[in-house]
Structure 1
């Protein structure tokens, strides 16, 4: 109940990243899909309330359940591209882990929902969570980040354009290979440039 707002925001977005990446990662399977969807539904329902109303016990309880449930899911599937990108964002630019995951998560959700074998699954998932489309889900993540004062642009993250080549090179941790759409250095740089 005493978790500060910015810790609530960053750790809450880490939960969302765990859930979404468990759902679209190459290693997903039916049981992890169930847990990931439950966790995402809880987090989208409760995170902003927990941020706005720190003493709201129901929102805190929902986020606690979401965290454990998402943990079960990604513990089996591992994480994917947004987490791979988060490591140099934290190490080199000092962005706390959950906020670093949130930085690219909407971009990867859009990409994976538009291309590849998982696209229709992700569209259907987004609709089941109450969004008109996967783009609408990604738009909601962007809106949540803005309201909770998480960085949404390269400038806000303290990243200069000349930093991008090194940032991209450092983003290829093994979990990048768990992304359903193959990510190249050129494609990842384009994703970052889109965040200007």
Structure 2
């Protein structure tokens, strides 16, 4: 290390089976009335009412905003903030996937700070006032948003996903209970699982990585590689679900402190313009981005290859090749679609490739990549990803 590094995490992290039982005790220490940010799926599963019950036992009132129907947008933030102010809530609790947690982060900050959420993008205003306390409870083993100081909100006017990163967006408390992830369907398990893997990989490859983030990233990669297929095939396997939840949490800690790279820079424009969920867009792009980057990060990719194929005597070049081919094979086994198979129209895609490449560069993430792409290289990568074939000609040996 040439200079000092920083490691930011929530003040408290609960993880493991039954961790949700602690939400009431953490809430009562921070407020009297909570706005629960969630969605209709979580409500239908009974998770929202279960959370309310825990709050009620400790004497904390609650109101629910469950208007989130897709990736987080500035409109969801505005509506949730309006309800919070009407109900005079002094605490925010999010329960759901990354969309719910990211929306709640923005609401907690704007509750104590003026303006539009986009005002707090990198290079713009700094958050001046301490946000409302936020307790984040993920229900997927994927985004890691419960442990990051990042929120990604779509500007609905300009169709741009705004990556907003400041310490104020870090939840005060993260409660990671794998029992809440058992209800995730196969498709969500696959997409969020590869999303978590991409967080760990990019944190490890990032130019901003440091020894602490490497520790979390390597542990996360191992947990995810060893357990994702089991969680996908047998959603009721609690051991696999617990490992995936822990892996996603560790990956979140890693990437919020080391930053992400090419995959995330490219995925945000796809999500903004074609409404592809974040986990899926990351999964669609990950293998091609690794192929593009491999020659500049062979030694680090080799560590991932050895996780996929432990106990083999391999050169770094061989292990790096195995890493890329194994990620491709994993995406194939998880039935990750390419952009065409997702249903994106090729003509519409071609019309916005230049904008997507520009927006990806402007996000600031690609510059952290081991190999930094040019505008033309990004446009070429988007074309490659549109019809990318995950299934390899031969199985990885």
Normalized against structure 1, the TM-score is what? Answer: 0.90
Please point out which of 230, 249, 269 is paired with 1:49: 230
**1:142 equivalenced with 2:320 (yes/no):** no
- Deviation above 4 Å: which 4+ runs of structure 1? none
Give the unaligned 5+ runs of structure 1: none
Taking the aligned partners of 1:15 and 1:127, their CA distance within structure 2 comes to: 17
2:205 to 2, 5, 24: 24
Q: Which has the higher strand share?
A: 2
Three-state SS of the structure 1 residue aligned to 2:252 is helix
Q: Distance in 1 between matches of 2:259 and 2:321?
A: 24
Q: Flag structure 2 segments of 5+ consecutive residues without an equivalent.
A: 1-181, 310-317, 388-397
Residue in 1 aligned with 2:337?
151
Q: CA deviation at 1:134?
A: 2.1
Deviations 1:146-165 (A, max 9, x none): 2322223x412415262322
1:114 is matched with 295
The higher-RCO structure (CA 8 Å, 6+ apart) is: 1
Q: What do you get for the CA RMSD once the two structures are aligned?
A: 1.7
Q: How far apart in 2 are the matches of 1:81 and 1:159? A: 23
Q: Structure 1: how far apart are the matches of 2:287 and 2:335?
A: 16
Q: Deviations over 1:7-48 (max 9, x none)?
A: 111111111011000000010011111110110111011111
Number of equivalent positions? 192
Following superposition, the deviation at residue 177 of structure 1 comes to 1.3
**Given the alignment of the two structures, is residue 178 of structure 1 paired with residue 356 of structure 2, yes or no?**
no
Are 1:25 and 1:77, in contact at CA under 8 Å, matched by a contact in 2?
A: yes
Structure 1 segment 1-196 matched on structure 2, within 5 A: 1-115=182-296, 118-123=297-302, 125-131=303-309, 133-152=319-338, 154-157=339-342, 158-160=344-346, 162-163=350-351, 164-172=353-361, 173-195=363-385, 196=387
The question of whether the paired residues in 2 share the 8 Å contact of 1:112 and 1:122 is answered with: no
Q: Is 1:50–1:56's contact at 8 Å kept on the other side of the alignment?
A: yes
